[in-house]
Structures are given as structure tokens and as C-alpha cells.
Structure 1
């Protein structure tokens, strides 16, 4: 069991990095790591999945991806954020939240804060050593 949850994001994406800077302002005790530097096997996560979507690994080791990861992050915070996280997890809104997340993820290279790396497929992005 982990000491605190882990938020995994794409450290080569400017939009993702800026979004994470906002997330760390939430009152949540968590570890935040770009997938390029994380020990993915220890977290039971594949590189392909980490490159595809933001991930939230809770203290029990359960992995949430995409909109579900964002919802879990919000649910782990203090009011009023858990309400929004709960709404995002509700059956009727879950599909909408996931579609919105996927649209943003697929178009992040066109959004403010994007970098040229956001346009490249994960296997062509520069990797950090």
C-alpha cells in the first residue's frame, strides 16, 4: 500500500504540465511524476497507458485513467472539489466527462500551453535520461 496517491502525467506536453501545476494547488497529499521519470512497473502501469492518458494510482494501487483519474483527484481534495469529482463519476456524466477528456487529450497540441512535443506520437517524443 502506497503512502499517498500518485498522479502520472506527460512531462513532455506543455498543456499537461500546466494542468498539473493547477492540480498541485488542490489540497491533496499526492506524489506527482511525469511518466517519463516514473517507475511504471512498480506502479503496475504500462508505458503505453501512461503515454495515452493521465493516471491516478490510489493508495491501494488501483489505477484510474483519463477523466476517471481527474475525478479521483478531485474526490481526494477538500470541498467543493469532491462534489465535482463525484458528478464526473456519476453514470450519466461519466461518459460525457470521458469524451471531453479524450477530445482535450487528442487536441492538446492546439490548446494554450502546448509545445511541439504535444504533436508528436509518444514514441517520437524526446525522452529524458
Structure 2
């Protein structure tokens, strides 16, 4: 059984990778971080379809939170002022607003700073990046 939550993100997407690097350096979440391309999604209780669609936060008990709620859980795990922001993202109406903003960003990530045209392609059509470290751990 896992003892720490796992953040699963799209390692082929430059915008997603840049966001994770920012979170590691500034937010400092208490979790393991791994691209879905290197994760055992079945053992995490999720699917590739879901991992392609949104960032995922998997609790040690196996509960999977996606999208804006995964971001909220990440912020909550970091403590300090970040946990206040994370808590606010779990409450209506901010929860609903966060979901809409998350979908807007996720659906347009190839157009955002750090994004590349590959971010908008289905996984089976993306160019493969050079080999990278499969896990980024905190």
C-alpha cells in the first residue's frame, strides 16, 4: 500500500511539465509525482483515458481526484498559505469556477506558454520526447 499521494500528469506536454516543475519549486507538495506515461495506472485505480484528460491526485487509499480538485489536493498537501487556496478550491462556488477554468486551460494547453503543438495531439500521435527521468519525487 502506498503511504503518500501520487500526482499523475502528462509528461509529453511541455505546459504540464512546466507546471509540475513550478509546483515542485514553489508549492512543494507532499506527494510522489509521475508522468502517466511511466505510471502503473491500473494499480493507481485509473485509466489512460482519464490521465490524458486531466491531472490526477491519487490518495494512499486509492481515491482518485481529477482536474481542478487534483490541483486543490496538491495545494492542500503543501501546507502554509497554499492549503488555504486549496481549501477554497474545494468549496462551491469556487469549486465550479475552478473546474471551468481548469477545463479551459487543459483544452487549450498547446496555446499556452510552455505548450507545444504536441500537447493538443492524442497520445498515440505525439512525438516521443527524449528519455527522461520517470519519477520526480518530493
Place the TM-score, normalised by the shorter chain, in its bin. over 0.9
- Find the aligned partners of 2:91 and 2:66 in 1 and give their Cα distance: 16
Partner Cα separation in structure 2 for residue 104 and residue 28 of structure 1: 21
Q: Deviations over 1:82-110 (max 9, x none)?
A: 11001110011111000000000011111
CA distance in 2, matches of 1:48, 1:27: 27
Return the TM-score normalized by structure 1: 0.93
Matched, 1:2 2:13: no
What's 1:50 paired with? Answer: 51
Partner of 2:101: 100
CA displacement at 1:77 relative to structure 2: 1.0
Which residue of 1 is the match for residue 135 of structure 2? none
Query: Are residue 78 (structure 1) and residue 82 (structure 2) matched?
Result: no
Instruction: State the 1:29 CA deviation.
Output: 2.5
Residue 127 of structure 1 and its aligned partner are, at CA, apart by 5.1
Contact 1:28 1:77 in 2 (8 A): yes
Q: Which residue of 2 aligns with 1:33?
A: 34
- Which residue does 1:12 correspond to in 2? 12
Structure 2 portions without partners, runs of 5+: 132-138
Equivalents in 2 of 1:49, 1:18: separation in Å? 20
Unpaired segments ≥5 residues, structure 1: none
Cα drift, residue 28 of structure 1? 2.6
Q: Is the 8 A contact 1:11 1:36 kept in 2?
A: yes
Contact in 2 for aligned 1:11/1:34 (Cα 8 Å): yes
